[in-house]
Amino acid sequence: MFGKSWFAGDLDYFWFYIHFRDMNRSSPCKDLSVFGEYRGIAEALFPSGGSQTGQMPDLAAIADFAEALGIGAEYKRLLGVKKNANDMKVFLGHFQNNLDLLIQKTWVEKADEIRKEELQDKVAPFISLVETGNYPQALEEFGAIMEELAYLLFGEQSRKEDFSDYIIRIDDRMGLFWWYGGQINKARGAPWVQKADSTVLYALLILGICYLTDF
């Protein structure tokens, strides 16, 4: 049902959604209309609805997006923690452990098993980039991680233009998160990333890291 991959655990309830929702309609998210009440929040995160436009988000928009994802309190707490503090190192350790478990839970065809190992190998170098403050490169790597994770979880469906639409009909917040993931992936190589304020890039990273730590 989810293409090549599936994973067990907290998301088993998805099957109930799938049986009772029409998964055949298609309405790409390029105008963000699918997000309903979250549309304005998504548009504010990346003005003009895209991450390649050169219009970088601001901290207020990122904070609002975190609230919409249900991680507002944790996001604010971590943003206030000193970047090299022990609390941050512990949190990043939790992120790595949870992402590792999430990757291990995915079911893929035998031919794709190597992709799971390769993705796991990307996580530690990504964390090192965050810890050393190389946020432009960290954002690039995070985009690659998000793209591959989406493929492992949802198979070829993750490659389609209406992927966010597909997911948001399963769960609103999850659809919003994977739209964010797609935008981060599209931002790879965008000129604004190199020019952006480091605080903004750090906030964008913490946003995704927070969500995946509790995923």
For the residues of 132-179, what is the DSSP string, one character each?
HT-HHHHHHHHHHHHHHHHHHHHGGGGGSTTHHHHHHTT-HHHHHHHH
CA pair distance 39, 21, nearest whole angstrom: 21
Structure confidence by residue, pLDDT tens digits, 33-66: 666 788 888 888 887 655 666 677 889 999 999 9
Average pLDDT, the chain: 81
pTM: 0.81
**Amino acid at position 77, single letter:** R
Q: Report yes or no: 102 and 215 within 8 Å, Cβ to Cβ.
A: yes
Q: Report yes or no: 139 and 205 within 8 Å, Cβ to Cβ.
A: yes
Best CA proximity match to 213, nearest among 88, 56, 46: 88
Q: Where are the domains of the chain?
A: 47-213
User: Is pLDDT at 89 greater than 70 in this prediction?
Assistant: yes
User: Is pLDDT at 4 greater than 50 in this prediction?
Assistant: no
> What's the rounded mean pLDDT across residues 162-184?
87
Which residues face 107 on adjacent strands?
6
User: Is pLDDT at 150 greater than 60 in this prediction?
Assistant: yes
**Amino acid at position 96, single letter:** Q
Confidence category of residue 112, pLDDT binned at 50, 70, 90: confident
pLDDT score for 30? 53
Best CA proximity match to 50, nearest among 189, 195, 187: 187
Best CA proximity match to 186, nearest among 212, 215, 163, 153: 163
